[in-house]
Amino acid sequence: MNNKVLASPIQRAHWNQLNNTNKEQLNTAAISAVYPGMLNAQGIEAYLHQLVGCFDILRTYYETDELGALWQHVSTDIPIQFSTLNWHGLNEDEVTEQKKKESQTQSISSVTEPWVRVVVAEMVDSCWLHLEVMGLNTDVFSLNYLLESLVDAGNGRLQDAQGRLHDEIIQYEDLAPWLGDFLLDEELLDARKFWTRDKSERALDQKLSLQRYVQATESVYAFSTMALDDLYDPIASYAFTHQVSIAEVICTSLRHTLKRYSSDAVLSRVFDSRADSDLADAIGPLSRAVPLFSDMDGVFDTAIKQEQALSEQGVDYGECFIKSHDHEISGFSFIFDSIDRSSASHSDVEQIMSLSEALKIQFLFINQGKNSRLQFTYDTGYMDEQAMAYFVASCKADLIKHIGEACTQKQPAYQGRGDIVTASCHSVLDQFTNIADTTGGSVIQIDGKKHTFAEINDDANRLANCLIAAGTGHGDVIALCLTRSIEFVIAMLGIMKTGAAYVPIDIDLPAQRISAMIQDAQASSLICQGELMVEGCHSINYAELDLHEYDTTAPAIKIASDDLAYILFTSGSTGKAKGVSISHKALLNHMTWINTEFKFNPQDRFLQRTSASFDASVWEFWSPLMVGATMVIAPQAINYDQALFKQTLTEQRITRMQIVPSLLDLLIESRAESQTYHLDTIFCGGEALRTITALNTKNAFNCDVVNLYGPSECCIDALFWRFDERLQTDFVPIGYPINNLSCRVITEGGRIAEVGESGELQISGDSVFSGYYGQDELTAAALEYCDLASTKFYKTGDHVQILADGNLMYLERLDDQVKLNGFRIEPEEVSMFVINNGLSEQAQCKVVGNSLSLFYIGAKVSEQEIILKLKGALPEYMVPTQLIELEEFSYLSNGKLDSKALVALALNYTSADYVMPSTDVETKLVAIWQELLDTSMTIGTSHDFFNIGGHSLLAMKVLNRIQEQFEVNISVRVLFQNKTIAELAAYLEPMILLNATHDSEVSEMEGGLL
C-alpha cells in the first residue's frame, strides 16, 4: 500500500473544478435508496467498517506540493459517521422532508480529511439508506456498488456482500499511474488525435432559452426527477428492436430536446474505464465526460445509430485524459450519465449526487426496471425550479414522441396575458375634465408660457364649439399641423371633444408628404399656424381664431369606445405612408395602464419632447393631463443640444421622461457629476435597449429604468419590463403584455410556440388598432383571426423568444422594416417611391450601418434630381444618405436578391474623389469621423458627413469629441452647416488659434509674475 501517490488525471480535473468554482457540492457524492422491508443496522455498520478498511480510496485525502502537483494520501484512520433514525410515526410528507434534510446535512466537505457517512432510517414497512463520501473518491458506479453491498449486509445476504471483499481488490492508488500513462498505448492513436483537436470548447458555457436571464440570489445544485413507470417497457421494446441500449435511446432523445432550446446545445456523455474485466468491480473515480456529439439533423432512428457509434468510441476517448483541457476550469454544460442496476438489486435508488464538473445540467438515467428514473441535477443559478419543471416535461413529451407512443399530455402553448382591468372612466376626455375641474395641473413651455388645465379645458371647449359651428361633425377627421405647444394641446383636446379624430402632422415634413397624408386621411379640416393649403381640405389658421366668442361649456357629444381618437401615419412598404387608426377604447386602455402601473401623480413633472407625429408622444401628452401633473414642453432643439437637455432636466425638475436608447447613451456620456437630477423613471423605447445602457442610466440618474415595446398598431406600448440590475443578457427583455392585452408567438412552422421557443410576436386585445385608414387590404394582411380565442391578432413582424418565466426577448425583424435612431422605416417605401415616380427602372433600398443606401438601375433622371425628389416627398430620416447606380443586381442561387452583396458594396463605395487631409486639424477630424462612423471606407476631406452614414445622434457624438479634443465651445448646428472635413476645419481653425494665443498670453503673464 502506497501512502502517497500522484493523483490520477480524473482526480486532477475534478480538483481543478473544485478550485475554480464556488460549488462545494462538487466535493460531496451521495446515493439514497429505499429497501422494501427492515434492515439490520448493526450488520450494515459492521460491514461498513470492513468496506472502508478494504478500499483505500474511501480513506483518501489530498494536498498539493509547491509545484502545484496534486497528491493523494491514504489515511490509516477509518473516518465513519453512522446514524440510525426512527420515522415510524411520520406521515408521507414528513418523511419526504426528513429525507431532504438528511441529504442536505453534509459532512465537513474537506479534501484534507476523508469521510464516509451512512444513515439508516426505519419506516413502517421499509428502510431508507443514505450513503455519502468525498466526491473526489468516487463516481456513480462506485456509489451504486457500495450501496448494494450495504443493503446485502443489512438484509441477511452477508455472504454476497462478503464476496465483494475478495483478496484481489484493485486499489485506486495503484491505478492512478496506469491511467496517467494511457496515452502511450499505440491502439489509442485515434483517441489522442481526438483530444488534440479538443472538441471540448463546443460543450462549454452553453446557453438555453429556458435559463435564467436575471442573476439568482444563490447558486446550488438541486434535483428534479422524471419517473419512467409505464414508459419503461415501450422504451425497452424500442431499444431491443433497434439493437441499441435503453440509455442510448434516452440520450438521443435528450439531444433533440436540448436543440429545441438552443441550436448550439451539445450533450457530453460519461464513459468509464471498466470495460476491462479486471476493472469491472474497481472502486474510485474511473468515469469521465467526453464531448462526443452526433448529427441531430436526421430522423430519430438514424440518430440512434449514431449514438451507438459514439458509445463504441467513447470508452477509448474517455481514457485519453492526460492533456489539460478548457473544461477542467469551467466544466461541460450538459452531461449525460447512466447506471445499470442489477436485476437482483433489492432496493430502489431515489437519488444520486455525483458531480465531477461544475456543469449546468446533469442527466442521470438510473436503470432499475419498472422503477427506472431520469434524474436532472441542475444549477439553480442557471435555471429556476419552474423552468426546470417545464424542461423535464418537454423531455418526457419528446421521449414519448420518439419511441412512437401516443402522447396524452402535451405541453401548453404559450400565451402571455396582461391583467384584466376595467377603467374607472368612459374616455380619456372624461378623466381630463374631472382633473381640470378638481385637481389642477399645468402645461409649461420652456420659453416661460404657462396654462393651467382649467384654462386649457376652457379654450379646448371654445375651440370644439367653434369647429362644430364651422361644420365639423362626429366621426370627422381633422389634421393638426402645429408645433408642440400649449396651442397643440388645446387643439388636440378641442378636436376630440367634437367627436372627431385628429391627425398629428409634423410641420417639418416636405409639403408633398403633408398633402398626401391629409388626403389619405380624408381630413375635412386642417388646423395650422399661418397659411397651409391642401386641396379638398378646409384650412384653419389657429392664430387668427378668436375663441373668446365661443362658450366654455363642453359640447354634448357622446364618445363611443370604438370612435377613433387619432390617426397616426407610419412608413409603408407600398410606397406610401399608412394611417394607423386608434380608437378611444385603445387609448383609454393604454393610458389607464401606464398611469396606474407607474403610480403617476400630481407632483410629477413630465418632459414632452417627442414629435407629435410619433405615437410615443401620445402618453407624454395624456399622462399629465389625466393625473393632474405638470407637462413641460421642450423645444425641438433639446434633441440636438445636450447642454440644453440637461439644463431642462435639472431646472424643470423633471421626474418622468421617455427617450430612445441611442440618445440616452449620449446623455449619460455628457452628464456632469455636479448636476442634480430629480428623475424617478426613465422610459426607453423605439430601439433595442442594451443592458449596459440601462445599468449606466440607473447608476447615473439613480432612477428606475423601464423598457417599453409596442408598434403604433398597438397604441403606443404593448409590453414592458422593469430593468433589474441582476440581468445577465446583453439586451433588456421587452417583457410581458400590459393590461387587457394578450400575445402569442407563432413558430416558423405555423404553430403556437411553447416556452423557450421563438417566432413571430402577435398581439390582441383592447389596444389593437382599428385598421389602416382607408386601406382594407393592408389591414386584412396585418391581422390574423384566431377561431379558438375568437379574436384578431396583429402580426408584428418581430421575431421574439419566450423566456423561461414567460417574458419575451426581442431578436430581430422578420421583414425589411427597420428602426433607425427610433424612427420606424420601411425601406421598400423608398424603393417604391423611386420606381412609381419614374426616377429609375429598378431600385432597392437597404440599411447599411445606421443609414439608408439606395441602389438603382436604369436611371431616368440625374442622381441630384433623385435626391431632390426624395427630399421633397419623404421625411429627412427616410432620405438615403448614399445613392449607388448599378448595371444589374446580383441574385442568390435560390433567386433571391443578394442583399449582403449590396451592403458590402455600400460599405466600400464612395462617389466623391478622395482628398487627403492637409492640416493637423483636418487629420484629427478625419480620425474622429473614421472612429465614430465605424466605416471601412477611407474618409477624405471632401466627404459629406451625412452622405457617408452620419446622422443627428452621431453629429452630437462628433460634437462632444471635438469639444474635448480642441477645447472649443460650438453647437451641433455648426456640423449641420459645415458638412465636410474641409469646411469644418476651416470653421474651427481660427477658434483653435485664438485659444492657443490666449493660453500663450496667460502663460507669459504668469511667468512675469514669477
Q: Does pLDDT of 411 surpass 80?
A: no
Which tens digit of pLDDT belongs to each residue from 625-639?
A: 999 999 999 998 888
pLDDT for 1006 equals: 45
Where in the chain do CATH 3.30.559.10 domains reside? 4-177
Burial of 787 (0-12, 13-18, 19+ CB in 10 A): exposed
pLDDT of residue 1008: 44
For cell 408584428, name the residue. 796
pLDDT band at 736 (very low <50, low <70, confident <90, very high): very high
Q: Mean pLDDT across the stretch 74-82?
A: 88
Whether domain 211-402 has CATH 3.30.559.30: the reply is yes
* Predicted local confidence at residue 403, as pLDDT: 87
Sign (positive or negative) of CA dihedral 209, 215, 221, 223: negative
The string of pLDDT tens digits covering residues 713-731 is: 999 999 999 999 999 888 9
Q: How confident is the model at residue 558 (pLDDT cuts 50, 70, 90)?
A: very high
Residue 85 has what pLDDT? 95
Question: Does 1005 score more than 60 pLDDT?
Answer: no
Cα dihedral: 146, 148, 153, 155 (round 10): 160
The better pLDDT of the pair 2, 101 is held by: 101
In whole angstroms, how far apart are CA 969 and each of 480, 961, 965? 38, 11, 11
Average pLDDT over residues 273-286: 82
Phi, psi of 951 (to 5 degrees): -150, 180
Fold (CATH) for 449-558:
Rossmann fold (3.40.50)
Query: The domain at 413-427+584-811 falls in which architecture?
Result: 3-Layer(aba) Sandwich (3.40)
Instruction: Answer whether CATH 3.30.300.30 is correct for domain 826-907.
Output: yes
Q: Where in the chain is the domain with CATH 3.40.50.12780?
A: 413-427+584-811
Q: What is the pLDDT of residue 597?
A: 96
* Residue 724, C-alpha cell as written in the block: 433589474
3-state DSSP assignment of residue 312: helix
CATH topology of domain 920-1005: 1.10.1200
- Say what the pLDDT of residue 186 is: 55
Bridge-based pairing of strands 361-367 and 564-570 is unpaired
Identify the pLDDT of residue 196: 45
Question: In angstroms, rounded to a whole number, what is the distance separating the alpha carbons of residues 741 and 964?
Answer: 48
> Average pLDDT for residues 420-441, to the nearest whole number?
90
Residue 852, H or E segment: strand 851-859
Domain with CATH 1.10.1200.10 in the chain: 920-1005
Average pLDDT in the 733-756 region?
Answer: 92
Exposure string of 913-950, with b = 16+ CB inside 10 Å and e = fewer, is eeeebeeebbebbbebbeebbebebebbbebebbbbbb
Residue (of 370, 583, 545, 378) closest to 465 by Cα position: 545
Mean per-residue pLDDT, 298-322: 75
pLDDT at 108: 54
Q: Do 766 and 792 meet the contact criterion of CB atoms below 8 Å apart?
A: no
Confidence of residue 188 (pLDDT cuts 50, 70, 90): low
Mean pLDDT of 808-828: 82
| CATH 3.30.559.30 domain range(s) in the chain | 211-402
Q: What is the reported pLDDT for 183?
A: 42
What is the assigned CATH class of domain 4-177? Answer: alpha beta
Backbone angles phi, psi at 986, to 5 degrees: -65, -35
Q: How far apart are CA 972 and CA 663, in angstroms?
A: 14
- Percent of the chain residues past pLDDT 90, beyond the cut: 48
Mean pLDDT value across the chain: 86
Q: Determine phi and psi for 593, rounding to 5 degrees.
A: -65, -55
Distance CA 469, CA 26 (A): 82
Give residue 2's pLDDT: 53
Does 261 score more than 60 pLDDT? yes
Local confidence band at 573 (pLDDT 50, 70, 90 cut-offs): low
| 971-983 as b/e: b if 16+ CB within 10 A | ebebbeebbbbbb
Give residue 185's pLDDT.
53
Residue 322 has pLDDT above 80, yes or no: no
pLDDT digits (tens, 9 = 90+) for 694-714: 999 999 999 999 999 999 999
Measured from the Cβ of residue 538, the count of other Cβ atoms closer than 10 Å reads 15
Length of the chain: 1010
| 206-227 tens-digit pLDDT | 788 888 888 888 889 999 999 9
How much is the pLDDT for 1010?
A: 36
Cell 446623455, residue located: 667
DSSP 364-432: EEEE-GGG-EEEEEEETTTS-HHHHHHHHHHHHHHHHHHTT----SPPPPP-EE------SSSSHHHHH
Instruction: Lowest mean pLDDT of 51-60, 567-576, 858-867, name the range.
Output: 567-576
pLDDT value of residue 1: 47
Quick one: average pLDDT of 798-809? 91
User: Which one of 114-118, 314-318, 587-591, 869-873 scores highest in mean pLDDT?
Assistant: 587-591
| Confidence check: pLDDT of 1009 > 70 | no
